Amino acid sequence: MKKSFSKTKRSMHPWPMLPGGIHRSVCHFCDTLHESAPLSEGMAARCQRCGAVLYQNRSASLVRVTAFSIAALLLMVVVNAFPFLTMDAASIRTTLNLASAARALIEQGSPVLGIALALFTILSPIAMAGGLIYVCGPLMFGRIAPGAMVVAKWLNKTEPWNMVEVFLLGVIVSLLKLAKVAEVEFGMGFWAFGLLMLCMAAAMAGIDRDELWDRLEVAKS
Amino acid sequence: MNRSLPRAAALLLAGCHTCGKVSPVALGRCPRCGSPLHLRKPHSIQRTIALMLAAAALYVPANLLPIMTVVELGEVTENTIIGGMLSFWRSGAYPIALVIFTASILIPLLKIIALSWLCLAATGKLHPSPKMLGKIYWFTELMGRWSMIDIFVVGILVALVQLGNYMTITPGPGALAFAGVVVLTMFAAMSFDPRLLWDRLEIYGIDSSTFKKADL
């Protein structure tokens, strides 16, 4: 009984069919033109010439993206409120978080690097998560938020510059570098950042670009 | 290769770079999201080569200049990327040494080599084998960001190690050059258009039935 209920709930908002003629999609790698057929949830369409993924229908995409993005934003608060690492050396205790790393670079004579670090690890994850909530949240109810198309365009451009997972590996490398000189401990911020990385990855993988734009187009009309 | 598969450019159709919608290129802008439509990314090869050469030029100071300066009890040590990796290797931390070697030395170098290869293949100076080169391109785009790890390590160390007279760490000019390499190679990979490889294959006459060079 419960199972059939959740099934109906999910299929209430399947990937909508766009109005008008045959739908086509083009492979980004080899430019082969395909007539696109609707997919059932969990399936992917691949290019007949080169095998690259054309589009895929993720299950419960909008709900999933919104949920993971909200989780990521909440974790971002924790990440910025608690230190990543705490170091005790020469009777001085120093702590690290994202903002302090960026600020240190700016103060120590590398403002460009400091700003780049802030962009790649603070601003772009917040922009990605916030943008996804703004676009996908209202879409769950078949509505389109004002300016959602512009936001969706910017999401595309921001994606490669979100370097959360790279920073995480950087923290681990630094910890090993410092282990010789001082007592270093992981803080709450580090674990929250690890979770944030997983949530961001799940949110971004949660929806196919074509599906998002088809939904936006249908909701707009 | 399957001859019956048409290519969008031959029909003057363009898939939008941003939203994926297929529209006639004559519209100029995507009717759905408003992005400019192109059959191929504009000036793809020139842009890729220019960005890649700039990255290759910066790769030299990035490795020669110190990425950070450590002052320990008045004693100044300049750290380069290679030096940092070697000190991990000597102290027996092989996995970390390998991670740094891969992310900071190998990946930028491989990216520069891969992009030159892709550009040569796309202009017909090397034989294009688009299936393999397509994978190389995909991999190049995917791996690029991991090179930022050394910049982040510098940022973290600079933030943590400010212990007055005992030990301080400041960023060096090499770090800026290295960040430049990473960002430039990322832009270079983004401006390359893998469809050019398949175009080239058709110019060789393997699948010319659906393609006219004039359509570019």
Measured distance CA(B115)–CA(B110) in Å, rounded: 8
Write out residues in chain B with pLDDT < 50, as ranges: 1-2, 207-216
Same domain, residue pair A137 and A37? no
Measured distance CA(A63)–CA(A69) in Å, rounded: 10
Same domain, residue pair B158 and B61? yes
* Encoded tokens for A115: 């700003």
* Residues of chain A neighbouring B88 (CB-CB closer than 8 A): 176-177
Same domain, residue pair A29 and A99? no
Measured distance CA(A28)–CA(A46) in Å, rounded: 11
In this complex, is the C-beta atom of A49 within 8 Å of any C-beta atom belonging to chain B?
yes
Same domain, residue pair A52 and A73? no
In this complex, is the C-beta atom of A30 within 8 Å of any C-beta atom belonging to chain B?
yes
Measured distance CA(B209)–CA(B192) in Å, rounded: 25
Residue B4's pLDDT is what? 67
**CA distances from residue A196 to A60, A157, B4, B19 in whole angstroms, order as listed:** 21, 20, 46, 26
A197 burial (CB, 10 Å; 0-12 / 13-18 / 19+) is buried
Interface confidence, given as ipTM, is: 0.84
Same domain, residue pair A21 and A113? no
Shortest CA gap B152–chain A (Å): 6
Residue A9's pLDDT is what? 52
For residue A36, the 8-state DSSP code is: -
The answer as to whether B175 is a domain residue is yes
Same domain, residue pair B122 and B51? yes
Residue A174's pLDDT is what? 87
Domain termination site, one of A29, A56, A83: A56
The answer as to whether B186 is a domain residue is yes
pTM: 0.85
Q: Which residue on chain A is closest to B18 by alpha carbon?
A: A153
Same domain, residue pair A84 and A143? yes
Say how many domains are in chain A: 2
Same domain, residue pair A19 and A126? no
- The answer to whether the beta carbons of residues A193 and A121 sit under 8 Å apart is no
Residue A215's pLDDT is what? 85
SS3 B208: helix
Residue A75's pLDDT is what? 94
The answer as to whether B215 is a domain residue is no
Residue A21's pLDDT is what? 67
Task: Please name the residues between 153 and 212 in chain A that touch chain B, using a CB distance below 8 Å.
Answer: 153, 156, 160-161, 163, 166-167, 169-171, 173-174, 176-178, 180-181, 184, 209-210
* Encoded tokens for B117: 């290869």
Same domain, residue pair B71 and B4? no
Task: Please name the residues between 15 and 44 in chain B that touch chain A, using a CB distance below 8 Å.
Answer: 15, 18-22, 32-35
The answer as to whether B200 is a domain residue is yes
- The answer to whether the beta carbons of residues A105 and A113 sit under 8 Å apart is yes
Residue A126 lies in domain? 61-220
Same domain, residue pair B124 and B189? yes
Please write the tens of the pLDDT for every residue from A181-215.
Answer: 788 888 898 999 999 999 999 998 888 888 888 88
Domain termination site, one of A19, A41, A56: A56
Same domain, residue pair B68 and B4? no
Among B169, B66, B153, B138, residue whose Cα is nearest residue B103: B153
Residue with tokens 């570019």: B216
Residue B206's pLDDT is what? 53
Residue B132's pLDDT is what? 82
Same domain, residue pair A49 and A66? no
Residue B58's pLDDT is what? 93
In this complex, is the C-beta atom of B76 within 8 Å of any C-beta atom belonging to chain A?
no
Same domain, residue pair B130 and B177? yes
Same domain, residue pair A42 and A80? no
Same domain, residue pair A167 and A80? yes
Same domain, residue pair B35 and B115? no
Same domain, residue pair B50 and B154? yes
Select from B35, B150, B171 the Cβ nearest to the Cβ of A108: B171
Residue B212's pLDDT is what? 42
B172 burial (CB, 10 Å; 0-12 / 13-18 / 19+) is buried
Write out residues in chain A with pLDDT < 50, as ranges: 1-8, 10-11
Measured distance CA(A217)–CA(A198) in Å, rounded: 29
Same domain, residue pair A51 and A118? no
Say how many domains are in chain B: 2
Same domain, residue pair B28 and B63? no
In this complex, is the C-beta atom of A20 within 8 Å of any C-beta atom belonging to chain B?
no
Element containing residue B199 per DSSP (H, E): helix B195-203
Residue B12 lies in domain? 1-39
Same domain, residue pair A33 and A109? no
Residue A1's pLDDT is what? 44
- The answer to whether the beta carbons of residues B192 and B115 sit under 8 Å apart is yes
